[in-house]
Amino acid sequence: MKDPDESLWSAGLEILGRLVDAGHTAFLVGGCVRDRLMGRRLHDIDIATSALPEQVMELFERTVPTGLKHGTVTVLEKGRTFEVTTYRREFGYSDARRPDQVAFVTDIRDDLSRRDFTINAMAVGLDGKLVDPFGGKADLESGTIECVGDASERFGEDALRMLRAIRFGAEFGFRLAPSVWQGILAQSSRLKQVAMERVGGEWDRMMAGSGPDQACRWLFESGLPEHFRECPPASLLRGDTAPVALAPIQDADLRWAAFLIGKGLSVDEITVFCRQLRFSGRRISRIANIAEFNARLRHDFTREQWIGTVLDIGAAAAHDWLVSCVGQVSKNSEAVQWLADMPLTAVSQLAVKGDELAARLDRTPGPWVAALLRRLAVQVARGQLSNEKPALLSAAEQAMRE
């Protein structure tokens, strides 16, 4: 079976061939070149060319004009997509994110000079030769994140690059060059101009990557969170930068939960912060449920409290909490057994429903029904009552008499 990376790389070279045969120059650029040199999995292929967008669209049958203003056309070939961008220079970054103007150029080196880091400013042509005018390969070999040109200028152009520097450094286990660190400190206030969904996207990638602990340390040591457009809760900005070891936790949402709980944020603060980062409602609920689970058990970690918490918040949150709080709770293994021993983990799993209780007890439905169902569920979960309809109805009658 063909290596998918080789297949993707070869498909990119075929695109180059079409461009070169038409009289243009073209190169594979950026992250795909970096990842190939590092032996990392390829995710996509970006191509830079001397051809203008209109010329690219004429050459390929299926294209999407994704960013003509900036010279980008998406080419669809063999079920894959390739972003093909005309060599360009960029001018003016009034919003600290996007260039105000671009000018198409004819030399790949001019195009590479506008890029953020040396390791992302390399290109490979159809002949397989590396174009590396800023020493990106040497920085890969030394494990260094270095900017193309002056770091403070690069971060002044696009403030999101400061977060990207931290993300790449943490993900690859590289060091940040002193000039990069000083550039971050000098330009940190520019981050206020960057939309929160972009900030959240970068931090989320850090948390999902292979170096979340280092990423969080650099973030808080640099003070960047203080310059977010929407300032995080004050408790997030205080205390230890890495209160919990995140790397052993595999799931990004559970890493977030462990981190935010470890920083001492309340459930409400965690919910607000996740909204600031523009997380989906599903993710916010999952992370907040873990935090709620932790809050309920923090001062009363007994089997009785555990059962009630599982019934109220859910078995999924229980599993998530056990994983995200590994090493923090001395009774962790005991809680795992408690969960395994529970005959049911949700009120909805009872063999009797609310309307059946109301009919059997000849009472008008109301809040009492939910309270009674939960009481029955607790008894079943403790092993004190069988989850069978006759037994449940009998226990309900007894409860109402009491």
| Claim to verify: residue 42 and residue 57 sit in the same structural domain | yes
Instruction: With beta carbons less than 8 A apart as the criterion, state whether 227 and 188 touch.
Output: yes
Residue 328 clears pLDDT 90, i.e. is over it: no
Q: What is the domain-level CATH number for residue 321?
A: 1.20.58
Across the chain, mean pLDDT equals 92
Instruction: With beta carbons less than 8 A apart as the criterion, state whether 354 and 365 touch.
Output: yes
> Which of 224, 248, 263 finishes a domain?
224
**pLDDT for 212-223, tens place per residue?**
999 999 999 999
Closest CA to 108 of 51, 55, 60, 155: 51
Mean pLDDT of 97-118: 88
| Claim to verify: residue 116 and residue 11 sit in the same structural domain | yes
> How many domains are there within the chain?
4
Distance CA 342, CA 336 (A): 10
Distance CA 235, CA 264 (A): 7
Closest CA to 78 of 56, 45, 51, 53: 45
| Claim to verify: residue 153 and residue 201 sit in the same structural domain | yes
Residue 391 clears pLDDT 90, i.e. is over it: yes
Percent of the chain with pLDDT over 70: 95
| Claim to verify: residue 157 and residue 106 sit in the same structural domain | no
Q: What is the domain-level CATH number for residue 171?
A: 1.10.110.30
Quote the pLDDT of residue 334: 85
> Which tokens is 333 given?
């293994």
pLDDT classification of 397: cutoffs 50, 70, 90:
very high
> Which of 110, 133, 156 finishes a domain?
133
| Claim to verify: residue 219 and residue 202 sit in the same structural domain | yes
**pLDDT for 351-385, tens place per residue?**
999 999 999 999 999 999 999 999 999 999 999 99
Quote the pLDDT of residue 1: 46
Residue 12 clears pLDDT 90, i.e. is over it: yes
Q: For residue 341, which amino acid is it?
A: D
pLDDT classification of 21: cutoffs 50, 70, 90:
very high
| Claim to verify: residue 29 and residue 80 sit in the same structural domain | yes
| Claim to verify: residue 351 and residue 314 sit in the same structural domain | no
Complete DSSP assignment for 321-372: HHHHTTTT-TTHHHHHHHHHH-S-SSGGGSSS-HHHHHHHHT---SHHHHHH
Contacts of residue 169, Cβ cutoff 8 Å, sequence gap at least 6 = 145, 175, 176, 211, 214, 215, 218
Quote the pLDDT of residue 401: 86
| Claim to verify: residue 332 and residue 351 sit in the same structural domain | no
Quote the pLDDT of residue 2: 55
Between 67 and 272, residue with greater pLDDT:
272
Residue 103 lies in a domain: yes
For strands 175-176 and 144-145, give the pairing: parallel
**pLDDT for 291-311, tens place per residue?**
999 999 988 889 999 999 999
> Which tokens is 106 given?
């004819």
Quote the pLDDT of residue 300: 83
| Claim to verify: residue 67 and residue 82 sit in the same structural domain | yes
Quote the pLDDT of residue 120: 97
Residue 75 lies in a domain: yes
| Claim to verify: residue 328 and residue 241 sit in the same structural domain | yes
Of 30-44, 45-59, 173-187, 326-340, the least confident: 326-340
Distance CA 298, CA 306 (A): 11
Residue 326 clears pLDDT 70, i.e. is over it: no
**pLDDT for 162-213, tens place per residue?**
999 999 999 999 999 999 999 999 999 999 999 999 999 999 999 999 999 9
| Claim to verify: residue 321 and residue 388 sit in the same structural domain | no
Burial class (CB in 10 A: 0-12, 13-18, 19+), 192: middle
Mean pLDDT of 237-246: 75
Q: HSE (CB half, 13 Å, CA atoms) of 175?
A: 7
Distance CA 117, CA 176 (A): 11
Q: Domain residues for 197?
A: 143-224
Q: What is the domain-level CATH number for residue 120?
A: 3.30.460.10
Residue 375 lies in a domain: yes
Q: What is the domain-level CATH number for residue 362?
A: 1.10.246.80
**pLDDT for 263-297, tens place per residue?**
999 999 999 999 999 999 999 999 999 999 999 99
